[in-house]
Amino acid sequence: MYLSKSLYTRGLQCAKSLWLKKYKPEVLQVPTDRTVFETGDMVGDLACGLFAGGKEVPYEGTSFDEKIALTRRWIEEGVSDIYEASFSFQDIFVMVDILHINANGSMEINEVKSSTEVKDVYLHDASVQYYVLSGLGLDVKRTNIIHINNKYIRDEELELDKLFSIVDVSSEVKELQRDIPSRLANFEKMLENTQTPPPIDIGTHCFDPYECDAKSHCWAHIPLIAYLISQT
């Protein structure tokens, strides 16, 4: 089993979605609207300005192992802010949006969201990052969600410290640690079956917290049922 933080949160929403992503990705809809991703990238880049002067682990053109090695090297060299800092523990790979390293070596995880509030799914996202870093023996002192402050009205200059809200979610993230090992064990057991997805029916979870990209696959029978009912 090899999981990223997005696969972990996908599995939390629906284990079948995780199974399909792993073994039948061709049934998943490919997003055509790039706007969400572009907005997320733009917000992420702006948020790095809150921790100016850091180094960014390149996303393109480097393997997971290279990203991890580069992160380790920069930590050893004393770089205080690393964007997309990469780590792996127990086959879980995470990239921390902004890792801040204090002078005493303790660390702060910063997860950036283009939302205007902290949502539960973000806490799970941050919690798996904390799980990996603390599992590696790193001293994580604080975990933050950084999101857009929708009360901010821009004047002439863009003030990043006002544009963003930094919310300390350390206690929530620590609270979530207890359930992570059993969740991972459940995912591992479920993924041992490479032939058949878990028998999960459609429901409200198909839209919450995200609209699932397997909907056209799992909901394919719904129009037919509606048609059959209309004919009786």
CB-count exposure of residue 156 (10 Å: 0-12, 13-18, 19+): exposed
Q: Which of 3, 14, 47, 145 binds ligand SF4 (CB under 6 A)?
A: 14
Residue 10 in the binding site for ligand SF4 (CB under 6 A): no
Interface with ligand SF4, residue 214, by CB under 6 A: yes
Residue 215, H or E segment:
helix 215-218
Strands (E), 149-202: 164-168
Residue 205 near ligand SF4 by CB under 6 A: yes
- Rule CB under 6 A: choose which of 196, 202, 220, 225 binds ligand SF4: 202
Question: Which residues in the 128-167 window bind ligand SF4 by CB under 6 A?
Answer: none
Instruction: Please choose, out of 16-24, 83-91, 165-173, 178-186, the segment that lies near ligand SF4 by the rule CB under 6 A.
Output: 16-24
206 binds ligand SF4 (CB under 6 A): yes
Beta-bridged to residue 3, according to DSSP, are 92
How many other β-carbons are positioned within 10 Å of the β-carbon of residue 99?
A: 29
Minimum CB separation from ligand SF4 for residue 126, in Å? 22
> In this structure, are residues 1 and 188 in contact, taking their beta carbons and an 8 Å threshold?
yes
Nearer to ligand SF4, 185 or 220 (CB): 220
User: CA-to-CA distance for 222 and 135, rounded, in angstroms?
Assistant: 44
Bridge partner residues of 110 (DSSP)? 98, 144
Q: Are strands 140-148 and 81-89 parallel, antiparallel or unpaired?
A: unpaired
Q: What would the two tokens of residue 224 be? A: 């037919």
| Residue (1 or 200) nearer to ligand SF4, CB | 200
Contacting range for ligand SF4; rule: CB under 6 A; set: 15-23, 56-64, 77-85, 139-147: 15-23
Out of 9, 17, 71, 143, name the contact with ligand SF4 by CB under 6 A. 17
Closest C-alpha to 20, from 136, 147, 191, 157 = 191
Q: Does 112 bind ligand SF4 (CB under 6 A)?
A: no
Of 28 and 79, the one with the shorter C-beta distance to ligand SF4 is: 28
List residues near ligand SF4 by CB under 6 A. 14, 16-17, 20, 200, 202, 205-206, 212, 214-215, 218
